[in-house]
Homo-oligomer: A and B are copies of this chain.
Amino acid sequence: MVAFDPMPDLDPAPADVDRLHDPVFALHVGGKMEIASTVALNGPDELSLAYTPGVAKVCEAIAADPGLYGDYTWTANTVAVVTDGTAVLGLGDIGPRAAMPVMEGKAVLFKQFGGIDAIPICLDTTDVDEIVETVVRLAPSFGGINLEDISAPRCFEVEERLKQRLDIPVFHDDQHGTAVVVLAALENAIKLTGKYHDTIRVVVSGAGAAGVAVTRILLAAGIRDIAVLDRAGVLHRDRSDLNPSKRALAADTADTTGRWGSLAAVMDGADCYIGLSGGTVPEEVVASMAAEPIIFGLANPTPEVHPDIAHKYARIVATGRSDFPNQINNVLAFPGIFRGAFDARATAITEGMKLAAAQSLAAIVGDDLREDYIIPSPFDPRVGPSVASAVAEAARRDGVARR
- Chain B positions within 8 Å of A116 at CB level: 6
Interchain CB contact under 8 A, B51 and A105: yes
A72-B32 Cα distance, complex, nearest whole Å = 9
A153 at the interface (CB under 8 A from B): no
A58-B103 Cα distance, complex, nearest whole Å = 12
Per the 8 Å Cβ criterion, residues 8-25 of A in contact with B are 8-13, 16, 19, 22-25
Decide: A31 near B27, CB < 8 A? Known: A59-B102, A101-B59, A105-B55. Answer: no
Question: How many copies of the chain does the oligomer comprise?
Answer: 2
**How far is the CB of A102 from the nearest CB of chain B, in Å?**
6
A53 at the interface (CB under 8 A from B): yes
Number of residues of chain A lying within 8 A (CB) of chain B = 124
Interchain CB contact under 8 A, A35 and B94: no
- Among A62, A65, A105, max chain B CB count under 10 A is at A105
A322 at the interface (CB under 8 A from B): yes
- Among A48, A52, A53, A96, max chain B CB count under 10 A is at A52
- Chain B positions within 8 Å of A67 at CB level: 13
**The residue from B4, B51, B137 contacting A130, defined by CB atoms under 8 A apart:** B137
**How far is the CB of A47 from the nearest CB of chain B, in Å?**
7
**How far is the CB of A5 from the nearest CB of chain B, in Å?**
8
A46-B3 Cα distance, complex, nearest whole Å = 28
A66-B85 Cα distance, complex, nearest whole Å = 14
Decide: A108 near B37, CB < 8 A? Known: A30-B77, A59-B88, A72-B29. Answer: yes
Interface string of A90-108 (1 = CB under 8 A from B): 1100111111111011111
A61 at the interface (CB under 8 A from B): yes
**How far is the CB of A118 from the nearest CB of chain B, in Å?**
6
Decide: A31 near B73, CB < 8 A? Known: A48-B322, A50-B108. Answer: yes
A111 at the interface (CB under 8 A from B): yes
Interchain CB contact under 8 A, B403 and A100: no
Per the 8 Å Cβ criterion, residues 108-165 of A in contact with B are 108-125, 130, 133-134, 136-141
Interface string of A292-305 (1 = CB under 8 A from B): 00000000110000
The stretch of A197-205, A347-355, A358-366, A378-386 that contacts the partner chain: A378-386
Interchain CB contact under 8 A, A32 and B343: no
Interchain CB contact under 8 A, A98 and B63: yes
- Can you list the 4 inter-chain pairs with the closest CB atoms, starting with the nearest? A31-B74, A4-B115, A63-B98, A51-B105
